[in-house]
Structure 1
């Protein structure tokens, strides 16, 4: 009996020692991969740096704590005081993350300086065989401000959520293609610039033709591959409401072989044209929202084709190709 206890104890000690060594190796790999993001040029690929980077959570989690995170992409620099992410050993495909604000965004080209503050900002990403099963970001007490000269509130909302869901019935395992459904909700939004208060915004989108392995999303040929696969962005519904106005939009956009957007977006609104004067002056307001009918409601169709945006048949803007033509 005593011999069995000694053998069992030795096995337990060996397992603990082996897992401890494995955890340290894996934690080192996680830290090394994050540190490698600092080597990006910040132009062709965003550069991500941390003033302090720690990996903890032994023995059953990997907790990453990035203090004073900075993301640089071209002229844009984003600073976040603290970003934390955690993966549990027994659920390695489920990532949980949170961030402390305020986020500071600086654009060296335009000279703008903005901050976004929040009381809580949390994210969750769950994968199924390297395909996104669900991804969510939720923020509470969000305040977006212009801080170039003093601090001016641009917009705020007590709650905003963004969710992505896999669409299983559109998964094509033979072609390794997947589709995602996206949902955005912002409640009780206030926008002092155009006196919007108690506004609710909902957006429902579907994106098809995506690689079903998220590790391939960084492929520089991602957009051409999606175009060849017949991928499309379907605007299922965009709806914004407040006490006196409504805005609805729906449509579908694709890419042509030259990387140009093609498709239509239908817009219907009531009370919006009278509210957005400070943001969209004439004739652009009419070109985007259309003209009112007998009931005072506006409707219009925006067409995308051959590198341009058309209000009905009237060209209003040019758009560049999203990728070099073959």
Structure 2
């Protein structure tokens, strides 16, 4: 009996030592991969630098904390006070995260400086076979301000939530392509610049022909790869209303072989033309929103083709290729 207890104790000790070694190895790999992001050039790939990086949570979790983070992509610098991501060791494909504001955003080319802050926020990411099953971000008490000359409020909302959901019926495992449905909702949205108060808005999108394995994202140029795979962006619906004005839009867009947007978006609105009148001069306002009908509603279709944006059949702007 005593011998069995000794053997059992030895086995338990080996398991504990084995898991301890495995945990510290995985934690080291996580740290190394994050630190490698600091070596990116910020042009071909985003550069992420943590002022202080910590990996903890032993023995059953992996907690990654990044303090005083800076993210550089092109001319844009994003400064984040604190980020945290956690996963249980027995469920590594389900990540929980949080970010502490305020987040400062600056553009070296234009000189713009803005800040985004919130009262509470949470995020989660769940993967299945390295495919996004669900990504959710929820924030309350969100404010967006311009800080170029003092603090000027651009917009605020009591509640914002954004979700990306896998569309399993459109997954093509042979081609390695997946589709995602996106949903964004804002409650009690206000924007002083366009006299918007207490509006509710939501956006529903579908994106097809994305690489199904997120480990391959960025391995090749994203937009050319998406275009060659026949990817489409379906605007299922854009809806916004504040009681005195409303807007609805839907359509479908893609990219042609030269990188120009192609497709169309239909817009139906009431009271929006009058609201944005001081900020968008004629004839552009009518070219975008259309001529009002007998019921006062504006209807129009914006068409994208051959590097041009047209209002119906009337060309209104030349567009630059996206790749």
Question: In 2, are the aligned partners of 1:233 and 1:252 still within 8 Å (CA)?
Answer: yes
Shift of 1:123: 1.2
Q: Which residue in the other structure is 1:102 paired with?
A: 102
Q: Which residue in the other structure is 2:120 paired with?
A: 120
Q: Which residue in the other structure is 1:22 paired with?
A: 22
Distance 1:66 1:309 in 2: 43
Shift of 1:315: 1.5
Distance 1:159 1:270 in 2: 25
Is 2:171 aligned against 1:158?
A: no
3-state secondary structure, aligned to 1:291: coil
3-state secondary structure, aligned to 2:274: coil
Q: Which runs of 5+ in 2 are unaligned?
A: none
3-state secondary structure, aligned to 2:272: coil
Q: Which residue in the other structure is 1:285 paired with?
A: 285
Q: Which residue in the other structure is 1:70 paired with?
A: 70
Q: Which residue in the other structure is 2:177 paired with?
A: 177
Deviations 1:28-67 (A, max 9, x none): 1100100000001111211100100000000011100000
What TM-score do the two structures reach when normalised by structure 1? 0.97
Distance 1:285 1:13 in 2: 74
Structure 1's consecutive aligned runs of 4 or more residues displaced over 6 angstroms after TM superposition are none
3-state secondary structure, aligned to 1:274: helix
Q: Which residue in the other structure is 1:218 paired with?
A: 218
Distance 2:279 2:21 in 1: 59
Shift of 1:221: 3.5
Distance 2:71 2:229 in 1: 32
3-state secondary structure, aligned to 1:31: helix
Question: In 2, are the aligned partners of 1:193 and 1:278 still within 8 Å (CA)?
Answer: no
What TM-score do the two structures reach when normalised by structure 2? 0.98
Shift of 1:148: 1.7
Q: Which residue in the other structure is 2:129 paired with?
A: 129
Q: Which residue in the other structure is 2:83 paired with?
A: 83
**Paired residues for 1:1-326 under 5 Å:** 1-323=1-323
Distance 1:278 1:210 in 2: 40
Deviations 1:149-189 (A, max 9, x none): 22111110010011011111111112111111100000000
Number of corresponding residues:
323
Shift of 1:229: 2.4
Distance 2:281 2:74 in 1: 30
Shift of 1:102: 0.3
Q: Which runs of 5+ in 1 are unaligned?
A: none
Shift of 1:279: 3.2
Shift of 1:230: 1.9
3-state secondary structure, aligned to 1:15: helix
Shift of 1:69: 0.6
3-state secondary structure, aligned to 1:4: helix
Distance 1:3 1:279 in 2: 85
Distance 2:198 2:223 in 1: 38
Distance 1:156 1:294 in 2: 34
